[in-house]
Chain A
Amino acid sequence: MSGGGITPSDRFEKAVKLTLADGQMRANLRHATTTIRRKRQRAQDEVPDWQELRDRAARMKDDAHARLPELLIQLEERVQDAGGRVHWARDAAEAREIVAAIAAGYGLNRVVKVKSMTTDEIELNDFLASRGIAAVETDLAELICQLAGDRPSHILVPAIHRNRREIQELFRRTLGADLPTDNPAELAEAARLHLRRTFLAAEMAVSGANFAVAETGTVAVVESEGNGRMCLTLPRVLATVMGVEKVFPLWSDVELMLRLLPRSSTAERMNPYTSFWTGVRPGDGPQEFHLILLDNGRSRVLADPSTRETLRCIRCSACLNVCPVYERAGGHAYGSVYPGPIGAILTPQLLGMEHGEANSLPGASSLCGACLEVCPVKIDIPRILVELRAKAGVKPAESAGLKAAAWAMASPRRFEAAIRWARRGRGLAPLLPGPLSGWLQGRDLPEMPARSFREEWRRSR
C-alpha cells in the first residue's frame, strides 16, 4: 500500500495519541526536521530580496487563479496542438478511472510512478491494483513507503518517519539486498539496482506536475533523484495528473518558482532534475501523453475569497519542517497525504468543512506563526486556521463554556463576579473554557490570588 488519500478516519486530537506514543518516529522526525530547518534558513538568507520574491510569487499565483478557466482552456489547446490529450476530472474517482482506462487501453498491467502528491491524494495505486494494474513507486522514499506498507508522512520526504537502520532492514527483507551497513549510499544503491530494471521494462509512467504553462502547453516536474526523468523519458506512454491550480499563464512565470521552491523544500540553490515537456515529439520520449486536470474540491476552495490563498501552495513542505506540532505529531496524525500546517488548512477545505474528522485539523495548531514566516508564497496559514475554526463551528460541549465566558466578559461587573466565583471554587473553569482535564493532564493550575487586579487597583489608588 502507498498513497493514502486525504480523508482522515479519526479526529486529530485522537489520532495523535497513537503517533505521539511512537518514540522512534518522534526521534527520527526531530532529527530530520531540525536539520532541514537550519539548512532552509541558510538557503533563504543567501537571497537578499527573498521577501520581495515571496510577494511576487503570491501575486502571481493569485492572478493565475483569478483567470483559471481561461488559462486551463488555453493549456488544453496548446497541449492538444502539441500532440497530447487532455482529460478533465471532477473528482478523485473520475481521475482514477481515466488513468486506469489509459493503461487498459494499451493493454498494460504495470505502470511506473514519479513521486506525486496528486496521485497520492486520489489514492491511485490502490485503485489501479484493484484493476489488476501494478503501480511501482520509483522515488526512493515513496518506494520505502510502498515496500513497508506505510503511508507517506511528509510531502517532500514521505519516509521521514523512518531512520536508516529501519530502511536497511526493510531492503534486506523486501529486495533481498545484501546490506551489511546502514550507509545511506549503500541503501540508495540497493534501491537503484532494483529500480533500474523497472525503468527499462516500463511501458507507461504516471506523474504529477509542479507547474504547467498555458501559453506553451508545457508541463513541469521538479525532483531530486533523477528517477522522475527516467519515468518521463523512457516509457512509451505518460499520464500526468495535475491539480487545476498549478497552471501559470507565462513561461517566464516558472523562473520565479524555480528560485523559491528548491530553497524552501530541500534547501538547495538550484533543483537537480527539472523536466519540462510539451506534448509529444516523434522518436523522442513518450509517444502518447495524457494530461488529466483534476478539480477534486479545488473549485470550492477557490470560491471562498477569505481562504482561497491556500491554493497558492507549491508543496515545498517548509511549513511542515518548522511546525512544532508536526514535529511531534508526525504526518500520519493528520490522516491525509497533506499533513502539517498546509494540510491542516488544505485537507478540510478540499473535503468541505462539514467533514467531521477533517474539520478537527484547523485545531491542530498553537497558532505560533512559524509556518507563515517560511511560506515561499506567503499563505497566511495562521489566519486561515482561525477562519476555518469558525467555519467548522464549535462543538456543543465547548460551546456552552465559550458562551458562558463571553457572557461574563461582556460586562466588567459580571466578569468580576465570575472571578470571585472562580476564587471560591478554586477553579479557573469559567476563565478557561474547554475540558479542564486537558489542562490537568500534565499541568497544575495557578493559585487564585486573594484579589483581582481591579480590586487591587481600587485599593491602591
Chain B
Amino acid sequence: MRVQLFVTCLNDAVFPKVGLATARVLEAVGCRVEFDERQVCCGQMHLNSGDEASGRDLAVRMAEVFAEAEAVVSPSGSCVAMARHFWPKLAGDTGRIAAQKTFELSEFLTHRLAQGLGRGWTPEFAGRVAWHSSCHGRRGLGLLDQPKALLRQVRGLELLEIESEDQCCGFGGTFSVKNPDVSLAMMDDKLDALEATGAEWITGTDSSCLMHLAGGLSRRGSRLKTIHLAEILAGGAD
C-alpha cells in the first residue's frame, strides 16, 4: 500500500525525528511511504484561534494535496481529528475525500495488524514508559486502548498508566500561551501524576502535548523525558 505521510507542521519544523520514525514504522508494516512536499499545516491552529479565514485557506490546501492519495497517515491525533471533523466543512467535497483516507498512526497500525499485515514487525524498546493520552485522539478519534495495545507488543517496554489519563494536559494550542496560568496549572497536575509512576519516559500520539510536557519537565529539572509513540514503535530514540 502506498501511504502519504502527513508529517504535520510542528513535526516538520521542530521534531523531524518523529516524521522519520513514522516513515520507518510504516515501512516495517509493509507500506511504501511518500512525502508530498506541498503539504504544510492542517489549519487547526488558525481555526481554533479565531482566524477562520486563514484556517480554511490552509485546510483547503492540505485537502487538495491529500485527496489524491491512496491513504494518508499522520503521527498526530489532533491534526487527524482536525482533518476528519473540520476539513469536510471547510474544504467541501475535496475535504471530505481527503478526510476519509486520513488516519492517525496508531489507528492505522491497529487496523493493518488486525488484517494480518506487518507480521515481521518486532519493535523493541527498553524502559519504563508512562502513557499520555491526548484529548483529540481520545475523544475526536476514539483512540482509547489502541496505542497502548501497540506499546504492549514492544519487547522490553514496561507500560505505566495513570488514573487521570482522560484529563487534559493543558496544552490546547494557543490556549497554552493565551491562558498560560490555567494551562500551567493543568500541566503541573499531569506532570505530578506522570512522575509518580516512576517512569523514565512519557509517550503519546502528539508532539504538541509532548512539547508542552517536555517544556515543563525541563523547567522542573526532571529526569523524565518525552518520546513520541512513533519513535518507540520505530525501535527507540535516535
Contact = CB atoms under 8 A, between A and B. Distances in A.
Contacts of A373: 139
B184 A454 contact: no
A450 to B, nearest CB: 9
A448 B9 CA distance: 13
13 contacts: A12-B179, A20-B181, A370-B139, A370-B168, A389-B48, A389-B49, A406-B46, A409-B41, A431-B9, A438-B177, A443-B218, A456-B16, A456-B19
A180 interface: no
Interface stretch (A248-256, A284-292, A393-401): A393-401
SS of B interface (majority) = helix
A419 B174 contact: no
B40 A456 contact: no
Interface stretch (B54-62, B104-112, B117-125, B143-151): B54-62
Which residue among A392, A439, A443 has the maximum number of chain B CB atoms within 10 Å of its CB?
A443
Nearest 9 pairs of A and B residues by beta carbon: A366-B172, A443-B215, A406-B54, A438-B177, A368-B168, A389-B50, A369-B139, A438-B180, A453-B16
Nearest to B14: A446
Interface string A420-451: 00100000100111111011011111101101
B132 interface: no
Interface of A: 12-13, 16-17, 20, 26, 324-325, 328-329, 363-370, 372-373, 386, 389-390, 392-394, 398-399, 402-403, 405-406, 409-412, 415, 418-419, 422, 428, 431-436, 438-439, 441-446, 448-449, 451-457, 460-461
A368 B139 contact: yes
Nearest to B140: A369
Contacts of B216: 442-443
B184 A442 contact: yes
Contacts of A368: 135, 139, 168, 172
A399 B51 CA distance: 8
B181 A453 contact: no
A443 B182 contact: no
A361 to B, nearest CB: 11
A240 to B, nearest CB: 37
A410 B139 contact: no
Contacts of B167: 324, 370
Given A368-B168, A456-B16, A445 B215 contact: yes
Nearest to B10: A431
Contact of A443 (B37, B41, B173, B219): B219
A442 B219 contact: yes
A20 B214 CA distance: 23
Interface of B: 7, 9-17, 19-20, 23, 35, 37-41, 45-52, 54, 57-58, 61, 135-136, 138-140, 166-168, 170-189, 211-212, 214-216, 218-219
B102 to A, nearest CB: 18
A398 B50 CA distance: 10
A393 B50 contact: yes
B179 A16 contact: yes
A16 B182 CA distance: 8
A448 B13 CA distance: 8
B185 A20 contact: yes
B39 A412 contact: yes
A324 B180 contact: no
A386 B38 CA distance: 27
A458 to B, nearest CB: 8
Contact of A446 (B40, B54, B186, B214): B214
Given A20-B182, A452-B12, 15 more contacts: A20-B185, A324-B186, A328-B186, A363-B175, A366-B135, A366-B170, A366-B186, A390-B51, A415-B41, A431-B9, A438-B178, A442-B216, A443-B176, A443-B219, A446-B214
A363 B178 contact: yes
Tell which of A365, A368, A415, A460 has the most Cβ of chain B within 10 Å: A368
Contacts of A20: 181-182, 185
A455 B180 CA distance: 33
Contact of A410 (B37, B57, B181, B187): B57
B117 to A, nearest CB: 23
A460 B136 CA distance: 31
Contacts of B13: 415, 418-419, 422, 428, 431, 448, 452-453
